[in-house]
């Protein structure tokens, strides 16, 4: 995985040429969006509404345990897991995918540290394909109870929003070097992404092995008389 990502980052670091990816139409449990742009509009609206309501509602008792994700996210130690759902193949597959996303963020941080002009867009579009990413996050989220999901839902929104903003910050006109201000913004987004992914994974127990179903017993044969 790391060798594969390093190869991609090495290639894109030397060239800014890439093909734009087609917009994806997705339908998920959190929101229904037809594009990244529409998703960002919905996120902005929800944050404005949430910000207004937060002035009226008291802070929860466990607020502020983590400064990154926000006070709506409970302590992972207090999360409740539906063990039966967690052990299903789709959830285990999603958990593995989320771990890979977190690992990719780490690799992007290393690449940007080694080369301040590296173009991360090809990696963002390939490794964080919007509909697949959101499906994986939502599938993992089904293993948590409703109270826990109030926090994990927020983490998922933070991840999707920061990935979109990272792609915008990464955009650079050909021949113009990336400024220190833009570089700092990208590093900040990557740090937030790392924190959000790591926090989400703290809610999850360790992965379990899904055993393949045993093959059916052979049908009894009838001897000819």
pTM above 0.95? no
86-94: list long-range contacts, CB under 8 Å, 24+ apart. 86/143, 86/204, 86/205, 86/208, 87/208, 87/210, 88/210, 89/210, 90/139, 91/139, 91/140, 91/142, 91/143, 92/207, 92/208, 92/210, 93/136, 93/139, 94/135, 94/136, 94/137, 94/139, 94/140
Which pLDDT score, from 0 to 100, does residue 219 have?
Answer: 74
Which pLDDT score, from 0 to 100, does residue 223 have?
Answer: 60
User: What domains can you pick out in the chain, each with its CATH number?
Assistant: 81-202 (1.20.120.290)
Q: Are strands 32-33 and 26-27 parallel, antiparallel or unpaired?
A: antiparallel
Residues 6 or more apart in contact with residue 19 via CB below 8 angstroms: none
pLDDT digit string (tens) for the chain, length 225 residues: 555 555 556 555 544 444 443 333 333 344 444 455 555 455 444 444 444 443 334 333 333 334 445 545 678 888 899 999 999 999 999 999 999 999 999 999 999 999 999 999 999 999 999 999 999 999 999 999 999 999 999 999 999 999 999 999 999 888 899 999 999 999 999 999 999 999 999 999 988 877 666 677 777 776 655
Which pLDDT score, from 0 to 100, does residue 51 have?
Answer: 44
Which pLDDT score, from 0 to 100, does residue 76 have?
Answer: 87
Sign of CA dihedral 155, 157, 161, 163: positive
Cite the beta strand spans of 159-221 per DSSP E. Answer: none
Cite the beta strand spans of the chain per DSSP E. Answer: 26-27, 32-33
Q: What whole-number distance in Å separates Cα of residue 193 and Cα of residue 183? A: 15
Q: What whole-number distance in Å separates Cα of residue 203 and Cα of residue 144? A: 8
Which pLDDT score, from 0 to 100, does residue 65 have?
Answer: 38
Q: What whole-number distance in Å separates Cα of residue 95 and Cα of residue 50? A: 29
């Amino acid at each position: 995985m790391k060798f594969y990502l390093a190869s991609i980052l090495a290639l894109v670091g030397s060239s800014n040429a890439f093909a734009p990816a087609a917009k994806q139409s997705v339908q998920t449990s959190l929101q229904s969006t037809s594009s990244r742009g529409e998703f960002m509009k919905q996120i902005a609206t929800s944050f404005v509404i949430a910000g207004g309501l937060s002035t009226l509602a008291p802070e929860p008792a466990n607020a502020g345990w983590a400064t990154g994700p926000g006070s709506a996210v409970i302590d992972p130690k207090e999360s409740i897991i539906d063990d039966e759902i967690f052990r299903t193949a789709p959830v285990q597959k999603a958990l593995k995918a989320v771990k890979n996303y977190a690992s990719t963020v780490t690799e992007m941080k290393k690449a940007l540290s080694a080369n301040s002009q590296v173009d991360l867009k090809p990696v963002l579009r390939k490794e964080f394909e919007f509909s697949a990413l959101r499906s994986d996050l939502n599938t993992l989220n089904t293993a948590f109870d409703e109270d826990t999901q109030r926090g994990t839902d927020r983490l998922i929104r933070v991840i999707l929003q920061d990935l979109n903003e990272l792609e915008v910050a990464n955009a650079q006109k050909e021949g113009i070097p990336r400024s220190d201000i833009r570089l700092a913004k990208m590093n900040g987004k990557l740090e937030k992404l790392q924190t959000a992914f790591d926090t989400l994974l703290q809610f999850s127990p360790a992965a379990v092995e899904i055993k393949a179903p045993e093959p059916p017993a052979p049908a009894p044969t009838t001897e000819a008389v």
